[in-house]
Amino acid sequence: MTTQTPEHGPLLEVRNLSVSFPVPGGKLLRIIEDVSFSIARHEVFSIVGESGSGKSVTMMAVMRLLPEGAVVTGQVLYKGQDLLTMQPETLRRIRGSGISMVFQEPMSSLNPVLRIGPQIAEIIDIHHPGQTDAALRARVAELLGLVGVPSPEKRYDQYPHEFSGGMRQRVMIAMAIANEPDLIIADEPTTALDVTIQAQVMEVLRDVRAATGSSMVLITHDLGLVAENADRVAVTYGGRLAEQGQCRDVFAHPAHPYTVGLLQSVPDWRAPIDRELAAIPGQPPNPTNRPAGCAFSTRCPIARDSCTDIRPELAPVADDHMAACPWTRPGEAAMAPPRASLPPRPALSQAEDVLRVDGLRTHFALRTGWFGPRSAVKAVDGVDLQLRRGETLGIVGESGCGKSTLGRTILDLIPPTEGRISILGAPNGSLRGRALRQARRRLQVVFQDPNSSLDPQMSVHEIVAEPLRIHGDYTPARVDELLGQVGLDASAGVRRPSAFSGGQRQRIAIARALALQPDIMLLDEAVSALDVSIQAQIVNLLMTLQRDLGLSYLFISHDLSVVRHISDTVAVMYLGKIVEYGARDDIFARPRHPYTRALLSAVPVLRPEDGAVSERVVLTGDLPNPANPPSGCVFRTRCPVARDLCAQKMPALTGQADGHRFACHFPQG
């Protein structure tokens, strides 16, 4: 992926772009401030930043797609013409033909009541009217084939809800390339997708770009995705550009303290795990209370007094490399705080089991139609687990693999169809009423979405007090103590959850889970919704709490790098079954199941030397319908090494003396 020199100046040039939104009270709130960059022909330019940094708003403003009321100033020159001031009719002719877009949510971005084919044909018809239906249909089928949608002729007449997430995003890409645009703007194109599907979609994007020679703007929060795909990168923070330049320069020699912190927050695949992650302290700025000077000054380790007042301009620090910080030079990593090492833990080998799951099945009855045959979705289909005191067991898998259903069944929120769950030796179903409620104290939960896991009508104090009140143990002092334990001030108690940022809300949820002094905490994607710098804070908090309180964690996640950092043992799930189970290093350094290998290789990595599997395996196809799983091995339909035997016989989860187990007839490595 080499940068090519522009043919005649830049393709798109953004000059001093600022965006403000009106807020109640008639004021304007500035969201984007003075952003400038340019995109050359044929290059991939990435805008990377955390949520709320303004990366999506920037490109929406460029295309004049912001909601009515937004005030946009500056210049956006596309081949020398200003998109911001041109006639709407002229702009309309550029949209979809010169510049096209791919959005984050492929389901809501497609019209639910129109067939797929006509939705793609529409973009051709707008810009090249007068073609016959047959010609349009043929061209659409060709495009669908190009982006890897199987049997395009049949798919033409289907509706969006009949497509999987990955297939819908392929449709969006087909639409975007239909008129061979100069520029494709891809706004978090794979964020809603699973990692193996993400790998497929990114491959499609690379292929179509190679075929059409378009430039691309890749908006993302995923640094690994940037490192693997972009030529040049701009890092946004608090509505401004913190740094921009050649991708390899910025990642190898970051100049802005924020970029340094951001890169270090990403769990390092090689780092020893007895150390904390390098989190950026504090909370991201909110447009309403941004400092007048540098937006990062409140969290910056090298900030000086003047930083809060004087806004630093983006200035060159090296050839084609600019940073908005007057105090650093590229590659100066000295400002990174030293990582604290975590206190050692007692050996796990002697520890008792706090949780045992044997032969667990959770099936959901399903009837197709009113008189249709009964069938069952086998969400969890024969799972065995052991969790020892003080251990973290990571459960990884993509959406639909049953990991969340497994968690909810263990929590007794869903009744199991079959099998045994013993918590501290007490099997499920053996307790009723008050005794059951007492037993439930031993196992507490932190969910993914901090918006949904805290009752919006309750104060933070009441939220943390709730478990104590249920069991009649409430004292105000205990609530304050719990808030302190997760790094929040007792004064936070009077406010509602809506006053807090995502990371702080997750701290509140952790405080509530700790209230009953549980032995086990089930962390269901507990850090997945958080930005990487905040995620590192919460991971550090969880690891410290585990050592201080002797907690055992069941850590359910789709994020492999976080699982690697936090887990002692890892179970990989696919379609309701555990396909590989073993010590962390067995799974990450010596994976044996082809699915584990594909999963690991699909994760975009920040540092090319990272990753356990050197060759990339891109899985073909989608996850099979869980109501109608394949015969034999459930993975065989997508497996690169499947043979006849796999269709006939389901492999058992067996393995080696060291406890590393895998369910494959033809293990790799």
- Least Å distance, CB 470 to another protein, is 5
> Per CB under 8 A, which region of 141-149, 208-216, 447-455, 616-624 contacts another protein?
447-455
Shortest distance, CB of residue 86 to another protein, whole angstroms? 13
The backbone torsions φ and ψ at residue 492, rounded to the nearest 5 degrees and listed phi first, read: -65, -20
CB 668 to another protein: min, Å: 38
Q: Which amino acid is at 242?
A: A
Q: Which stretch binds another protein (CB under 8 A): 37-45, 190-198, 236-244, 452-460?
A: 452-460
Using alpha carbons, select from 437, 532, 21 the residue that is nearest to residue 235: 532
Contacts of 515 (CB under 8 A, 6+ apart): 464, 465, 467, 468, 478, 479, 482
CA distance 50 to 48: 7
Among 413, 494, 627, 647, binds another protein (CB under 8 A): 413
Nearer to another protein, 515 or 587 (CB): 515
CB of 498 to another protein, least distance (A): 5
Which two three-digit tokens encode residue 468? 């104590």
Provide the minimum distance between the beta carbon of 564 and another protein in the complex, in angstroms, as a whole number: 26
Q: Say how far apart CA 11 and CA 176 lie, in whole Å.
A: 17
**Which among 44-52, 188-196, 236-244, 507-515 is the span making contact with another protein, rule CB under 8 A?**
507-515
438 is an interface residue for another protein by CB under 8 A: yes
CB of 423 to another protein, least distance (A): 11
Task: Give me the DSSP letters along 402-420.
Answer: SHHHHHHHHTTSS--SEEE
Residue 415 sits in the site that holds another protein (CB under 8 A) = no
286 binding another protein? (CB under 8 A): no
* Long-range contacts from 450-453, C-beta under 8 angstroms, 24+ separation: 450/497, 450/502, 450/505, 450/506, 450/508, 450/509, 450/529, 451/497, 451/502, 451/505, 453/505, 453/509
SS3 call for 534: helix
Choice from 12, 354, 454, 554 touching another protein (CB under 8 A) = 454
Q: Which residue has the tokens 């696919």?
A: 574
Binder to another protein among 351, 458, 589, 618 (CB under 8 A)?
A: 458
Task: Provide φ and ψ at 152, rounded to 5°.
Answer: -60, -35
521/446 Cα distance (integer angstroms): 7
- How many C-alpha atoms does 415 have within 13 Å on its Cβ side? 3
**506 conformational bin, left if phi > 0, alpha if psi -120 to 50, beta if neither:** alpha
Number of residues that bind another protein (CB under 8 A): 72
Out of 82, 133, 153, 162, the residue judged to bind another protein by CB under 8 A? 162
Q: Which two tokens stand for residue 665?
A: 């007839």
Among candidate residues 40, 76, 78, 62, the one with its CA nearest the CA of residue 231? 40
In the complex, what is the shortest distance from the CB of residue 211 to another protein, in angstroms, rounded to a whole number?
20
Residues 210-249 as x/- pattern, contact with another protein by CB under 8 A: ----------------------------------------
CB of 359 to another protein, least distance (A): 23
Whose Cβ is closer to another protein: residue 176's or residue 603's?
Answer: 176
By the 10 Å C-beta count (0-12 exposed, 13-18 middle, 19+ buried), 477 is classed as exposed
Check residue 82 and give left, alpha or beta (phi > 0: left; psi -120 to 50: alpha).
beta
Q: Which is nearer to another protein, 111 or 654 (CB)?
A: 111
Specify the stretch interacting with another protein by CB under 8 A; choose among 266-274, 421-429, 432-440, 580-588. 432-440
- Cβ contact 190:173 at 8 Å: no
Contact 11, 79 (CB under 8 A): yes
**Is 431 a binder of another protein (CB under 8 A)?**
no
Give least dist CB 27 to another protein, A: 10
Contacts of 11 (CB under 8 A, 6+ apart): 39, 40, 41, 78, 79, 182, 183, 215
Nearer to another protein, 124 or 617 (CB): 124
Instruction: Give the range of 232-240, 270-278, 411-419, 561-569 binding another protein by CB under 8 A.
Output: 411-419
Among 450-458, 584-592, 603-611, 616-624, the segment contacting another protein (CB under 8 A): 450-458
Residue with smaller CB distance to another protein, 294 or 526: 526
Eight-state DSSP code of residue 341: B
Q: Could you tell me the sign of the dihedral formed by the alpha carbons of 523, 528, 530, 531, in that order?
A: positive
Closest C-alpha to 354, from 392, 382, 401, 322: 392
Alpha-carbon torsion (38, 39, 40, 45), positive or negative: positive
Say which amino acid occupies 60.
Answer: M
Task: List binders of another protein among 593-622 (CB under 8 A).
Answer: none
Q: Decide: 41 and 11 in contact? Cβ < 8 Å.
A: yes
Q: Interface with another protein by CB under 8 A: which range of 284-292, 455-463, 531-539, 644-652?
A: 455-463
- Spell out, one character per residue from 293 to 332, where the chain touches another protein: x when CB under 8 A holds, - when not: ----------------------------------------
Q: Which one of the spans 191-199, 374-382, 434-442, 476-484 is the region binding another protein (CB under 8 A)?
A: 434-442
Number of Cβ within 10 Å of residue 516's Cβ equals 17
Identify residues 127-156 at the interface with another protein (CB under 8 A): 127
Please measure the distance between the N-terminal and C-terminal CA atoms of the chain and give it in whole angstroms: 30
- Interactions with another protein, residue window 360-399 (CB under 8 A): 369-372
Span interacting with another protein, options 158-166, 318-326, 478-486, 612-620, rule CB under 8 A: 158-166
- Establish if 590 lies at the interface with another protein (CB under 8 A): no
Nearer to another protein, 182 or 268 (CB): 182
Which one of residues 466, 473, 585, 610 is an interface residue with another protein (CB under 8 A)?
A: 466
User: Is residue 517 close enough to count as binding another protein by CB under 8 A?
Assistant: no
Name the residue nearer to another protein (CB basis): 3 or 179.
Answer: 179
On whether the CB atoms of residues 599 and 587 are closer than 8 A, the answer is no
Q: Which is nearer to another protein, 209 or 408 (CB)?
A: 408
Total number of residues shown for the chain: 669
The answer to whether residues 394 and 571 touch, using CB atoms and an 8 Å cutoff, is yes
| Sites for another protein among residues 171-190 (CB under 8 A) | 172, 175
Site for another protein, residues 1 to 30, rule: CB under 8 A: 22, 24, 26, 28
CB of 108 to another protein, least distance (A): 4
Site for another protein, residues 59 to 118, rule: CB under 8 A: 63, 65, 68-69, 71, 92-97, 100-101, 103, 105, 108-114
